[in-house]
Amino acid sequence: MRNNRAMHRIAVLALDDVVGLDLGTPAQVFGTARTGDLTPLYRVEVCTPGARPIRSTAGFQVVPDHGLELLDSANTVIVPGIHDGPPLTDGTLDASVAAALRAAHDRGARIMSICTGAFVLAAAGLLDGRRATTHWAYADRFRRFHPHVDLDPDVLFVDGGEVLTSAGVAAGIDLCLHVIRTDHGSAVANRSARRCVVPPWREGGQSQYIERPVPRTAETGTAATREWARQRLHEPVALRELAAHARMSVRTFTRHFRSETGLSPAQWLLQQRTEHARLLLETTDLTVDQIARHAGFGTTAALRQHFHSRVGVAPTAYRRTFRRTPEPVASRP
C-alpha cells in the first residue's frame, strides 16, 4: 500500500481544541505531492466524531464533511495535536474514537500523529510497547499517563512502520515529507518541500529547539560552516577543518554545533552523507562504488556499513525499492 502510486486517501481526525497549524499541515504538504505530469498522489479529508463542528486553538471552528466512518476506508489516518481535552488532562479517550482508530490500524491503515496527537494514539492503546515522540514540553506528562510507551522526546519524528509520530508543530511537516519520500521517492518529496518553502529534511532533533537561558548570536552560529561542509561531502572533512572555518576552537565549535543541531559534527556528517547517498541511489545510475566516493564514504564497505546502520537495508536493496523511472513532464506553452 505504501508504494502504491494510485490515489492515496488520507483521513485527518480532528478533536476538540485541535491545533490549527497541525490540522492544516497534512492537506498543505500532501496536497503538493504530484507526479511529473501534475497528477495528485493524495486525497486529504477531515473528519470529527459525529461529523460535528469542533473548536480549534486558532479561533475558528472546523466544520467537517465526514464522521468517524471516514476511517473505515482511509489508507492513512492522521491525528493532529490538541491543546485540551481528556487525552491531555487525564490520558483517556472517547471509546468510539479509540475503537475507530484501533479498527483502522487492525485493517492495515497507516496511523500517524502530529505533536500532542500522540496522546490520542497512546490513549487508544496504539503506542504500547512502541517507540514514539511528542512535543518536548509534554514529555513528562506523557510518561506519567503512558509508562508502557518508549518515548523519545529528542527526535523530530519516529517512523515505526505502521504507526508514526512526530514532535511539535513544524515537525509534522518533517513527518509528512518523510512519508511522501517513503511512498514516492526523493524527487517527489523534494518538489513538495520546494512548494512549501521548507527544507526536504532537517538534521538533528528537538533538543535544538528547547528553551535555553542564553540565546546564541548569529556570529557564534555554525550554519555557514554546515553549508560549507555540505558542498564538500565528497571530500574528507576533519573536525579541526570545520572549527577553523567557523573560527572557533574545536571544543567551542563542538559545543555550539551540538547545541544548534542536537548532533555531534561526526554524527551530522554521517547523516548528510547518508542522505546524499540515498538521493543518488534513487535518482542516478551511478554504481554503489561511485556513490560511496561521491557521498564521502570512500569505500563501498564503509557505505554499506553506515547505510545499513542508519537506513536498515543495504544500498542495493534500497535502490531496488526506491529507484524511480523518470516521470513524464507535462508540456507547457
Whether the predicted pLDDT of 212 surpasses 70 = no
Q: Dihedral sign, CA of 211, 217, 219, 224?
A: positive
Q: What angle is formed at CA 304 by the lines to CA 276 and CA 237, rounded to 5 degrees?
A: 50
Query: pLDDT tens digits, residue range 278-324?
Result: 888 888 889 999 999 999 999 999 999 999 888 778 899 888 877 65
- Residue ranges of E strands in the chain: 8-13, 42-47, 54-55, 61-62, 76-79, 110-113, 131-132, 150-151, 157-159, 163-166
How confident is the model at residue 4, as a pLDDT?
44
How confident is the model at residue 197, as a pLDDT?
84
Q: Which residues are 44's β-sheet partners?
A: 10
pTM above 0.85, yes or no: no
Q: Give the Cα separation of 208 and 115 in Å (integer).
A: 16
Whether the predicted pLDDT of 218 surpasses 50 = no
User: Which long-range contacts does 180-184 make (Cβ < 8 Å, 24+ apart)?
Assistant: 180/29, 180/30, 180/33, 180/41, 182/2, 183/2, 183/3, 183/4, 183/8, 183/41, 184/5, 184/33, 184/41, 184/324
SS3 label, residue 271: helix
How confident is the model at residue 243, as a pLDDT?
94
Which of 178, 177, 157, 152 has the alpha carbon at shortest distance from 168?
A: 157
How confident is the model at residue 220, as a pLDDT?
56
Average of per-residue pLDDT across 246-275: 91
How confident is the model at residue 3, as a pLDDT?
45
Residue 327 pLDDT grade (very low, low, confident, very high; cuts 50, 70, 90) = very low
How confident is the model at residue 205, as a pLDDT?
56
